[in-house]
């Protein structure tokens, strides 16, 4: 029996809400820890930026997911019969617009908390329920995207190649990383006043890069096969989206060997970058210094994610053709 929409989202929400709590608590918790367990009014912009990026990441693929559900008739969508999408609703539900509006509104709320009470403890209850704010927006946009699927019309392919898709994901990830680690510039271990070519700074930066890499690899394991299947149904991608893997020799090695080589390369790279900066006398912002040191991890992350998503795309193509065969047989019956 095909479940109706209301029954399905009740089950889905029981999984989404705990996941949002875990992700938001991890990212804001890291920011709080990096800020020496303190928050002040200047942190409102960083926190709202972190939460805004998390919202964008949660809604960007939502339309493609529901396209997969609609086309495969996995859910009874009679709940939406006769419902139309308004022009303003369509504009406000765009992931970029919705995320920016949410970020601005959430930032104002945080600023108001500090104006009413200077202590950071007035902000803790707000941050505790921030996943609920994301969930409320997520729930509202979900209905808008389902209504958009029925009238979706793509005149040309939206994503021509997987590498652009991966670059966009990495750009968001790097932005989130920079916001999260930015308070560390005030820490003694990362102080560039004593010079970048010091054992303390090099070791601290290496440990930081390893932690950030581990978190990025953890979240990259989320499968995209149903998202790619939905985008195939929406004709936002075609079958030439990913035809081969870049640098095949990289994938011939086992993961433990790849990660070991990366860590060795990363450590040597940080030493070389620090030595060059000390020799040249250039002064870099902490965020720029971290970004330069993190470049080997970004390249590794790109190749790793590309392989995972290439496999998901091939699975999505296989499911697409299988569904076409099943759909034809259903019409014959």
- What are 26-74's pLDDT values in tens digits? 898 889 888 888 888 888 889 999 999 999 998 998 888 888 888 887 7
Q: What span, in angstroms and rounded, lies between the C-alpha atoms of 258 and 56?
A: 31
| CA R_g for the chain | 23
Cβ neighbors of 162 (< 8 A, separation 6 or more) are: 241, 242, 306, 309, 310, 313
Q: What is the mean pLDDT of residues 247-274?
A: 90
pLDDT for res 302: 94
pLDDT for res 279: 83
User: Does the structure show a pLDDT above 60 at 328?
Assistant: no
Q: What span, in angstroms and rounded, lies between the C-alpha atoms of 184 and 287?
A: 9
pLDDT for res 262: 94
What is the model's pTM? 0.88
Percentage above 90 pLDDT, the chain:
30
Q: What span, in angstroms and rounded, lies between the C-alpha atoms of 197 and 280?
A: 11
Q: What is the mean pLDDT of residues 252-263?
A: 90
pLDDT for res 332: 37
The mean of the pLDDT values for the chain is 85
pLDDT for res 155: 53
SS3 of residue 4 by DSSP: strand
């Amino acid at each position: 029996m095909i479940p109706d929409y209301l029954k399905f989202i009740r089950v889905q929400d029981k999984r989404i809400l705990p996941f949002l709590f875990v992700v938001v608590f991890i990212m804001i918790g890291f920011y709080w820890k990096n800020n020496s367990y303190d928050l002040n009014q200047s942190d409102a912009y960083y926190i709202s930026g972190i939460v805004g990026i998390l919202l964008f990441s949660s809604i960007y693929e939502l339309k493609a997911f529901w396209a997969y559900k609609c086309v495969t008739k996995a859910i009874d969508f009679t709940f939406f019969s006769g419902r139309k999408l308004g022009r303003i609703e369509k504009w406000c539900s765009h992931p970029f617009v919705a995320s920016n509006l949410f970020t601005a509104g959430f930032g104002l709320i945080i600023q108001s908390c500090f104006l009413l009470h200077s202590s950071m403890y007035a902000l803790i209850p707000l941050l505790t329920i921030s996943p609920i704010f994301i969930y409320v927006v997520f729930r509202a946009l979900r209905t808008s995207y389902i209504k958009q699927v029925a009238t979706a019309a793509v005149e040309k392919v939206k994503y021509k190649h997987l590498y652009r898709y991966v670059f966009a994901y990495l750009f968001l990830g790097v932005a989130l990383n920079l916001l999260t680690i930015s308070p560390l510039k005030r820490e003694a271990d990362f102080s560039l006043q004593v010079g970048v070519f010091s054992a303390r700074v090099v070791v601290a930066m290496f440990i930081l890069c390893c932690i950030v890499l581990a978190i990025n690899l953890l979240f990259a394991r989320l499968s995209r096969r149903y998202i790619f299947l939905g985008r195939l149904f929406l004709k936002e991608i075609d079958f030439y989206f990913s035809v081969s893997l870049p640098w095949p020799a990289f994938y011939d090695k086992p993961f433990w060997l790849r990660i070991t080589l990366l860590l060795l390369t990363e450590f040597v790279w940080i030493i070389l970058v620090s030595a060059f900066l000390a020799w040249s006398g250039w002064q870099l912002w902490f965020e720029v210094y971290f970004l330069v040191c993190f470049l080997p991890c970004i390249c590794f992350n790109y190749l790793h994610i590309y392989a995972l998503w290439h496999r998901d795309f091939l699975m999505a193509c296989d499911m697409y053709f299988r569904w076409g065969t099943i759909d034809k047989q259903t019409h014959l019956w």
